[in-house]
Amino acid sequence: MKKTILLALICIAAISCEKKEDAAPQADLNAISLSYQKATTVRTSGSDLKVELKEVNDSRCPINANCVSMGSAKLVFSVSDASNQVNVDFEFKGDSKNEQVFKLGGTAYVLRVTEVLPYPELPKSPKLEDYKIAVSIEKK
């Protein structure tokens, strides 16, 4: 009897530790690569938005330096549709909450940045033209 109970507990523990493949998938956002001062079109729920990286102020800790804080990259995007335009200020800290809500023509959007490259490295600083930003936009 004890062996049966022990075997049942082991089976229950094994089943509870299994990875669930049928869990609800998260929205697959197609991030686009954006270069400095080159406009790119982003498709968002049936509408096209024009996005341009206007400014980069990168104060992240270089990969070959010891810093007190990790710093951030401050970005300014120009987002427009057929009749409206807005500048979106964004601070990329490298953590999981890299999103900014903004309004364009009365519609709320969420702008997400997943990557800012190149990463700073001493003794040189990246040129603005070298930056590639992975960005996605979706309606809120």
**CA angle (131 as vertex; 94, 135 as ends), nearest 5:** 55
> Is the predicted pLDDT of residue 25 greater than 50, yes or no?
no
Q: What is the CATH number of domain 29-139?
A: 2.60.98
Which range, 5-9, 11-15, 61-65, has the best average confidence (pLDDT)?
Answer: 61-65
> Is residue 75 packed enough to be buried (19+ CB in 10 Å), middle (13-18) or exposed (0-12)?
buried
- Average pLDDT over the chain, rounded to an integer: 80
In whole angstroms, give the CA distance from residue 1 to residue 130. 69
Structure tokens at 53: 């990286």
| Choice between 125 and 86, residue whose per-residue pLDDT is larger | 86
In whole angstroms, give the CA distance from residue 112 to residue 128. 20
* In the chain, where the domains are located: 29-139
Q: Does the predicted model carry a pTM greater than 0.75?
A: no
Euclidean distance between the first and final Cα of the chain, in Å?
Answer: 57
